[in-house]
Amino acid sequence: MAKYILKRLGTSLFTLAVILTIVFVLVRQMPIEGYFDNFDKLDQAVIDARLKQLGLKDPLPVQLKDFFVRLIHGDLGTSARYAVNVSISEIIGKKAPLSIEMGVISMALSLVLGIPLGAAMARSKNKFWDQFGTAFIVFVSAVPAAIYYIYIQSFGSTLLGFPMLFSRDDWRTWILPVFSMSLGNIAYYAMWLRRYMVDEMNKDYVRLARAKGVKEKNITMRHVFRNSFVPMIQYIPTSLLYTVSGSIYIESLYSVPGMGGLLVDVIARQDNPMVQALVMIYASIGIVGMILGDLLMAVIDPRISLARKDSAR
């Protein structure tokens, strides 16, 4: 197992390099106009000087080599346009903890609410909890997030008296954004857990267990739930990543100074060093998440083997 993990990590480093190279090349295909606020009014000389300063005049392989050499030394570079000449690690170091905190809380909330909801729905198929849960899931997935977020904000602040804008030290301001963020995930977990559990409940071994007189509660928890949770577990590390990277809608609605929308923002402003740094961070979390997902799945379900080579073609 350890060998397998090491191998995966080794190939992941290579993958990361490929991703960075692709992104590096892609962002340099963007139009030159994007690097300037008032491109039309500038002299060619000024433009050339600025491009040289940004290091865009060198041949591409040289730029790429410089970038990787700096990266290996642990230097992410400085922001070119987002916050001019501020070191990127400083910008991210300031913004990331808030998004991570928020993401982890909302993730925990969605697991705590979503999993029991899904299990309750599967157990009471076509009865109250199932119908309640279905209505909730349908609502959350039917109404665009951008819209129900706005309604949650306006109702939460007018009817329930929660503050409209986020402030780090006031716990009451956390409730609305965290709750809004969790809704989608709660629905997602509940929906898939129900699907897998319902599929599982029809299987022969469950029928046998029932025929043997095993208590319904034990069947659900020991057999059905455990087996249905296997495909779910793969998504948990990845969706943690998505909550950590912040929600662009929510952070702009409540003016949370987090990472949400940072990537979109810097791409739109063509701040190449920032784009590369952010992609590197997100990609690393994503790859680690994928490995973790595979490992968790193998741990929970012994029938799944990742390392064994001879079991399939």
CB of 19 to another protein, least distance (A): 5
Q: Which of 2, 3, 14, 212 binds another protein (CB under 8 A)?
A: 14
Nearer to another protein, 174 or 209 (CB): 209
Question: Residue 232 and residue 205: Cα distance in Å, rounded?
Answer: 21
Nearer to another protein, 33 or 66 (CB): 33
36 forms part of the interface with another protein (CB under 8 A)? no
3 forms part of the interface with another protein (CB under 8 A)? no
Amino acid (1-letter code) at residue 76: L
Question: Residue 50 and residue 93: Cα distance in Å, rounded?
Answer: 27
217 forms part of the interface with another protein (CB under 8 A)? no
Which spans in 143-271 are helix H?
145-158, 172-201, 204-212, 216-218, 226-233, 235-244, 248-253, 262-268
| Alpha-carbon dihedral sign for residues 24, 26, 29, 32 | negative
Residue in the block written with tokens 């157990």: 123
Question: Residue 260 and residue 247: Cα distance in Å, rounded?
Answer: 5
Quote the tokens at residue 239: 């969706």
Phi/psi zone of residue 83: left (φ > 0), alpha (ψ -120 to 50 degrees), beta?
A: beta
Q: Which of 9, 18, 86, 175 binds another protein (CB under 8 A)?
A: 18
304 forms part of the interface with another protein (CB under 8 A)? yes
Nearer to another protein, 105 or 300 (CB): 300
Q: Which of 142, 169, 171, 217 binds another protein (CB under 8 A)?
A: 142
267 forms part of the interface with another protein (CB under 8 A)? yes
38 forms part of the interface with another protein (CB under 8 A)? no
Q: Which of 31, 59, 61, 213 binds another protein (CB under 8 A)?
A: 31
186 forms part of the interface with another protein (CB under 8 A)? no
Nearer to another protein, 179 or 282 (CB): 282
Question: Residue 194 and residue 133: Cα distance in Å, rounded?
Answer: 10
| Alpha-carbon dihedral sign for residues 25, 26, 32, 37 | negative
**Interface residues with another protein (CB under 8 A)?**
11-12, 14-15, 18-19, 22-23, 26-27, 29-31, 134, 137-138, 141-147, 150, 154, 195, 198-199, 202, 230-231, 234, 248-249, 261, 263-264, 267-268, 275, 279, 282-283, 286-287, 290, 297, 301, 303-305, 309, 311-313
